[in-house]
Structure formats: structure tokens, C-alpha cells
Structure 1
Amino acid sequence: MKTVFFVLLAFWLGMVPQFGRAHALDPGYLDLNELAPGTWRILWRIPDVNGQPMEIDAVLPDHCAPAHGPEPTAENQAWVSSWIAECDAEIAGHVVTIDGLERQQNDVLLRVRLLNAEPVTLRFTPDEAELMVPAEPTIWSVFGSYFLLGFEHILGGWDHLLFVFALFVLVRNPWRLVGAITAFTVAHSLTLAMATLGFLNVPAGPVEAVIALSIVFLALEILRHKEGELRLSEQYPWIVCFSFGLLHGLGFAGALAEIGLPSQEIPAALLAFNIGVEAGQLAFIAVLALLIAMWRLIAPRNADWVTHLATPVTGYAIGCISLYWLIERVNGF
């Protein structure tokens, strides 16, 4: 049953069609920028769904005209609409709505830049599609929004999750595993910050392909595992994780590039996003460990041949999934 558990989980992570994309749950982004008293420039970025804009719409308060924007146009794997709105009263203290969000799985980030005031960052969810704009921003609103964005992004990034799952299978020592995950986070934090701030500019296609290749490498390491012998990747997994984390950070940067960062709170937003990613990774590892611990308590001891079969079968499953992603992404260049 341990074999079945690993294989089913691996296929759940990668082979279901809607999870084929690395980041199927990229959030929307609504930017309200006050140019002059009562005059607002609106930027509305809508996630792409199979080549069409997601069926959601940003709606301003009733005293703003126009409350809806023009038809969006395709731009960088998203759909963008922008317009100038005139409001008879302040937006602060009034409700902004994302119509149709309750039928989706995505979130939408809202950034409000009041005239002569610090930006406010808020977050719409399917359960909270209406938000009242506060008059005074707080750093905690930025931190909370980007922490949840990072947490949800890692849980929606199936290639990143499969990488962590492969580490879980490969590295048997719990402390080495936690150290490897932390090294992975430190590394991707560095490249994420450099790419987001404009110091690195790498095309997304090759980055996504190399991320798939990193999972292929871990699958091969799993298949080469021998009882009683520790390969370099098992004895010092933090080295492997740090190296590949630099690449995965460039993948995370693509998500932040789509939604932007609050100009006055970039350090807090980056820190919160990375902490959210680390929390998501550790939560995923904790769930896996809990499931296996529960199985060991309720199930009889597995036969020796089943135990020996678990690792190679899991390695082949992970390898097939990641190799499929690699070929798909290389063909997409």
C-alpha cells in the first residue's frame, strides 16, 4: 500500500489535465491610481483561461463612471483593460467588487494608490468578492496579502510540489529534509528578488523546462538509491536544493511579474511571499508525513517485497510525469 500511496499521489500531482500547467491559479490584479482629486487611472489584469479572459469583471463604486472598463486585450499570458474613471466622492470607505469571482478558484489582488498617501494592498477571494477600501494603509495588509499569495502559489504550482514530493521520497532523514527545503527557499528567494527588481531577465520558457529537468534529476536519484548507501544528493541534499532553488525562483518571479509589487512596500511583499512559499512547502511535507504515520498505525506491516518496490515505482512515476512536462515545455519554445 505504501507503493500505491506514492504512485497515486505522484499522478495526482501531475497527470490530471488541469494541473498540467505549472501555475494554473495565477491571481488577477486590479490597480486603482488616483491621478487628481476624483480622477482615477484603472489597470485591470485578468487571468487567461485557455486563450480567453476569465469570466470576472472589476466593478467600481456607483459614484464612479465608468464603473466597468473596456474589453480587455491579450498581454503577456493575461488580459488587460485600462481606463480613466471620474468619481464624485472618495473611493475610500466604499466597496469595490470583482463580479463572478465567487465562481472561480483564483484570487485577485487590489492595490489602491490614494493621492498623497501610501498604497493600500488588499486581496479578493472567491468567498470575499467585495472589499471596502480603507483610508489608511498598513504594512500588515501588504504582508498578509502576499503571504497568502505565496502559500497558495506553492500549493497551486504542481511542478514545484512534485519537486518537494520527490525530495520527500529521496531524503529519509527528517532534519536533512527540512534543511533541504529551507535551502531551496533561501535560493529561490535570492533569484526571485533579483528577477522581480529587474536585475535578472530570463525567458520563462527555458526556465520552466529546466524546472521540469530538475524533477527528472531527482527521479533518477530515487531510482539509484541503495539501502545502506547514501548518495551525495541524499547526504547533502541542501546542495542540490540550493542549486535548483535558484532556477525555481525565476519561475516564482513570473507569478509576481504578472501582478506586480506595491512600490512602497517591495521588501515586505517579497519577504511575505517567500515566507508563504516556505510555509506551503512545510505544510505539504507535514501532510505527507502525517498520512504515512497514520497508515503505519492502522495497517499491518507490509511485506518486504512491497517495501522494496515502493521506491523504484515512485521514482518511475515521478520521472514519467516530469519528462512529459519537459518535452511539452521544450516543444512550446
Structure 2
Amino acid sequence: MPFSDFMFYFELGWSHIVSLEALDHQLFILALVAIYTTKQIKQILILVTAFTLGHSATLALSVLDIIRFDSKWVEFLIPCTIFITALVNLFKNGKRSKNVQVNYFLALFFGLIHGMGFANSVRMMLAKDQYIGWGLFGFNLGLEVGQIVFVALTLLISSVVLYFFKIRQRDWVIFLSSAVFALALQMALQRVPF
């Protein structure tokens, strides 16, 4: 695969998280990492990578035409994963779960759902390419790098708010999670498929 093709897919994955049209993806990452601080960077990176793995698996299965889902349901389920994640944060009262493996499983499972959302548009591009594996790798690498940059910015903003404005972490988590919950619930209601 020519390097320019790899970069095309890398940029496609990158824009899937950092573009203005990626609000649902950004909200999910925000809800996912809202309960963490820079001290838990290893846990955060594992969570984000678990999400990418789920996203990648569904995307690969879809591109290879092994699975297909009704896009109306997928577009409805994506904001549902976001408000569920935010709701879990609210019920934890701003505290991290002692069982972080549950968070990893949820990130992986919700990644499967999010991967279906982008699968239809990427399927056509990748299915025509004889280097499907490299295209998927480029896309997923771009997605992962974009997520890490978004996580870094989120943690930076959170650190500034917590340190300079002296806001308690619990209050910040509740504020972020409530805002994400409200936006995601509105998205879900707008996308009800029935």
C-alpha cells in the first residue's frame, strides 16, 4: 500500500474524532474519562484503547461484509452509550469504580456499537481497496491518535479547572457528566428509530 493511501486512512480516522462532525464520539470519550485525572493516565489509555479495539473489530467485520446493522438503530444506540456512560458517572457520585475491569468491558462493548456507526461510510472505500488490512490499520491508528490528543486536552482542561479554580473533582465530574448526559439524551431522542 502506498504511503499516501495509508495517510488517507489515517487522516480519515483522525478526523473521525477531532472534526466538528464527531460530537458523539467526543462526548463519549469525555464521559469515559471524566472521572479520571492525570494520575490515572495508564488506566485512561487502556480504556481508550479498549474502545478503539471494539470500534476496530466492528469496522473490520462490517468492511468484510460479515455483519450489517440497520443504520437507524446504530445512530440511536450511539448516543445511548454516551448517556449510559455519563449516568454511570453520576451514580458513582464522581468516584472511580473500584472494579475498573467493568469500565474496560463497557468501553470495549460500546466501541463495538460506535464502530457500526462509521462502518457504512468506510465500507465502500475500503472494500474497493486491495489492501484492506492496511487501510483498517491506518484508520484505527488515526482514530487512536485523535482520541489520545482529545483525552490530553480534556485532562489539561480538567487539571486547570481543578487546580486554578479550586473546584472539587466530584463537582467537576458531576458537571461534565450532567452536561454530556443532557446532550446525549437529546441526540438519542432525535434519533429514535420507531
Per the shorter chain, which TM-score range?
0.7 to 0.9
How far is 1:290 from its partner? 2.5
2:75 counterpart residue number: 208
Q: Residue 170 of structure 1 aligns to a residue in which SS? A: coil
Structure with greater strand share of residues: 1
1:221 counterpart residue number: 88
Establish whether residue 311 from structure 1 lines up as the match of residue 173 from structure 2: yes
Determine the C-alpha separation between the residues in 2 that align with 1:296 and 1:320: 22
Letter in 1 for 2:154: L
Aligned CA distance change for structure 1 residues 218 and 203 (closer, same or farther; 3 Å): same
Provide Cα deviations, 1:136-165, integer angstroms capped at 9, x if missing partner. Answer: xx5212111110111012223110111001
Percent identity of the aligned residues? 30
1:288 counterpart residue number: 154
How far is 1:295 from its partner? 5.0
Letter in 1 for 2:45: V
How far is 1:287 from its partner? 1.4
How far is 1:208 from its partner? 1.2
How far is 1:316 from its partner? 1.6
How far is 1:224 from its partner? 1.1
More moved, 249-258 vs 270-279: 249-258
How far is 1:262 from its partner? 4.1
Q: Residue 34 of structure 2 aligns to a residue in which SS? A: helix
How far is 1:259 from its partner? 4.0
2:4 counterpart residue number: 141
1:168 counterpart residue number: 33
How far is 1:294 from its partner? 4.5
Please give the residue correspondences for 1:101-112 in structure 2 after superposition, counting only pairs within 5 Å. Answer: none
Determine the C-alpha separation between the residues in 2 that align with 1:169 and 1:183: 16
CA contact (8 A) 1:139 1:268 kept: no
In the superposition, the TM-score normalised over structure 2's length comes to: 0.87
Letter in 2 for 1:301: K
Aligned CA distance change for structure 1 residues 326 and 231 (closer, same or farther; 3 Å): farther
Q: Residue 185 of structure 2 aligns to a residue in which SS? A: helix
Aligned CA distance change for structure 1 residues 308 and 287 (closer, same or farther; 3 Å): closer
Determine the C-alpha separation between the residues in 1 that align with 2:41 and 2:175: 22
Letter in 1 for 2:59: L
Letter in 1 for 2:16: H
Establish whether residue 326 from structure 1 lines up as the match of residue 188 from structure 2: yes
Establish whether residue 155 from structure 1 lines up as the match of residue 18 from structure 2: yes
1:188 counterpart residue number: 55
Which structure's CA Rg is the greater one?
1
1:32 counterpart residue number: none
CA contact (8 A) 1:177 1:237 kept: no
What CA RMSD, in Å, does the superposition of the two structures yield over aligned residues?
2.2
How far is 1:292 from its partner? 3.4
CA contact (8 A) 1:183 1:238 kept: yes
Aligned CA distance change for structure 1 residues 208 and 228 (closer, same or farther; 3 Å): closer
CA contact (8 A) 2:81 2:110 kept: yes
How far is 1:227 from its partner? 6.3
Determine the C-alpha separation between the residues in 2 that align with 1:227 and 1:181: 19
Q: What number of residue pairs does the alignment pair up? A: 190
Is there any run of 5+ residues in structure 1 with no aligned partner, and where? 1-137
1:47 counterpart residue number: none
Q: Which residue of 129, 145, 151 corresponds with 1:279?
A: 145
Give the structure, 1 or 2, with the largest relative contact order (CA under 8 Å, sep 6 or more).
2
Is there any run of 5+ residues in structure 2 with no aligned partner, and where? none
Aligned CA distance change for structure 1 residues 198 and 328 (closer, same or farther; 3 Å): same
How far is 1:310 from its partner? 2.2
CA contact (8 A) 2:59 2:115 kept: yes
Aligned CA distance change for structure 1 residues 308 and 264 (closer, same or farther; 3 Å): closer
How far is 1:248 from its partner? 0.9
